[in-house]
Copies of this chain bind each other. A is one copy, B any other.
Amino acid sequence: MADRRVVTVRPEQGSYAWTFGGAAPVARIAPGTVLDLFTEDCFAGRVRSAGDLVSQVCEFPFLNPQTGPFYVEGAEVGDTVAVHFVSVEPARDWAASTTVPLFGALTSTHTTATLQPPLPEVVWMWELDRQRRTCAFETREGGMRIELPMDPMHGTVGVAPANLEVRSALVPDAHGGNMDTPEMRAGTTCYLGVNVEGALLSLGDGHARQGEGETCGVAVECAMNTVVIVELLKGVATPWPRLESDTHIISTGSARPLEDAFRIAQLDMVRWLQRDYGFAELDAYQFLSQAGESPLANVCDTNYTAVAKIRKGWLPPGTPHRGLHDELRSAAVGLRP
């Protein structure tokens, strides 16, 4: 790994980005650069105890701070930026989750608008045991202690959007952003299509773990120390964010209603099977229909995110994204903390 430049960024207060697009780059990096990053939690670190209600301690729209953006040298419209997650490690021994008024899947919201009052605003503090790889909380009523495996991930990874837009870091869409999928964990490569020169990559919103769908709208939110390798695939277009793990290829779609998010991800997977695995269109449709896994990512954000996965062992021979994932997995070995 001697040949990879390492750029370390631990932002100070006031130097986070709150949008995709519209923020000045914090650094210019060459393809192949290793980024050693600190990301703050989605509350900008302001929810630190059960008494810290989002509606009181957070300052809209300064939610979901992003570390970045990074200007990737040579990245042009029509290329793809690859972000390989070498490690994603909670930076503190605690995390927080909460209900947020009129936000989440099991409440009316500002768009699924009803006359009902919001649910109560309740905070749960989670303990993270980084050795045992667990996270735990105590129920607010009944005093049960619940322990779950830690499974750290980033809810938000993205580039500047197309169409001259600037989007809030809370939004998931074709540029990535707040997709909130548990698939975005260490060992995974995320592919993002480039919409503006330099791509303007940023990431944040660490979760010690998250259920599929992120039902209440908020995961086990924590600051992260995260190492990624950033690469560039020239001349490869990626209309919607894709991921690749050692075991699966993964498409995403973000839209409303949820069936459209599903359709986008599934159609993208058909196109992926056609491009990299030699399937004809309807054969790919048939294969996906029988082989696909379809876990939900989030059903709470401004767009919902669905995921389409295929197990690599079930695929015919193919070399997605020029074999970059395997290459980055190897490169990552010496970089883990």
Query: In the complex, what distance in Å separates the CA atom of A110 from the CA atom of B255?
Result: 10
Query: Is the beta-carbon distance between B211 and A282 smaller than 8 angstroms?
Result: no
Q: Which of B139, B144, B260, B294 makes the CB contact (< 8 A) with A113? A: B260
Q: Is A291 an interface residue (CB 8 A)?
A: yes
Interface of A is mostly: loop
Chain B residues within an 8 Å CB radius of A22: 22, 164, 166
Chain B residues within an 8 Å CB radius of A211: 288-294
Query: Is the beta-carbon distance between B286 and A124 smaller than 8 angstroms?
Result: yes
Query: In the complex, what distance in Å separates the CA atom of A114 from the CA atom of B29?
Result: 38
Given known pairs A267-B114, A286-B97, the reply for A257 and B259 (CB within 8 Å) is yes
Q: Is A296 an interface residue (CB 8 A)?
A: yes
Of the candidate stretches A33-41, A115-123, A328-336, the one touching chain B is A115-123
Q: Which of B106, B120, B283 makes the CB contact (< 8 A) with A267? A: B106
Encoded as 1 (CB less than 8 Å from any B CB) or 0, chain A from 137 to 168 comes to 10111101010100000000000001111111
Encoded as 1 (CB less than 8 Å from any B CB) or 0, chain A from 8 to 27 comes to 00000000001101100000
Query: Is the beta-carbon distance between A255 and B111 smaller than 8 angstroms?
Result: yes
Q: Which of B110, B116, B140, B281 makes the CB contact (< 8 A) with A280? A: B140
Of the candidate stretches A44-52, A215-223, A242-250, the one touching chain B is A215-223
Closest beta carbon of chain B to A238's beta carbon, Å: 14
Q: Please tell me how many copies of the chain the complex holds.
A: 4
Q: Which of B97, B106, B112 makes the CB contact (< 8 A) with A290? A: B97
Encoded as 1 (CB less than 8 Å from any B CB) or 0, chain A from 278 to 317 comes to 1111110111111111111001000010101000001010
Query: Is the beta-carbon distance between A259 and B105 smaller than 8 angstroms?
Result: yes
Residue of B nearest to A146 (CB): B287
Given known pairs A115-B267, A141-B280, A164-B22, the reply for A216 and B257 (CB within 8 Å) is no
A residues contacting B by CB (< 8 A) are 18-19, 21-22, 60-61, 97, 99, 105-108, 110-120, 122, 124, 135, 137, 139-142, 144, 146, 148, 162-168, 170, 209-220, 253, 255-260, 262-264, 266-267, 270, 278-283, 285-296, 299, 304, 306, 308, 314, 316
Supplied contacts A114-B263, A119-B282, A212-B295, 14 more A-B pairs, CB within 8 Å: A22-B22, A105-B266, A111-B255, A112-B263, A113-B267, A114-B116, A115-B282, A144-B278, A165-B168, A211-B288, A213-B266, A217-B289, A255-B256, A257-B259
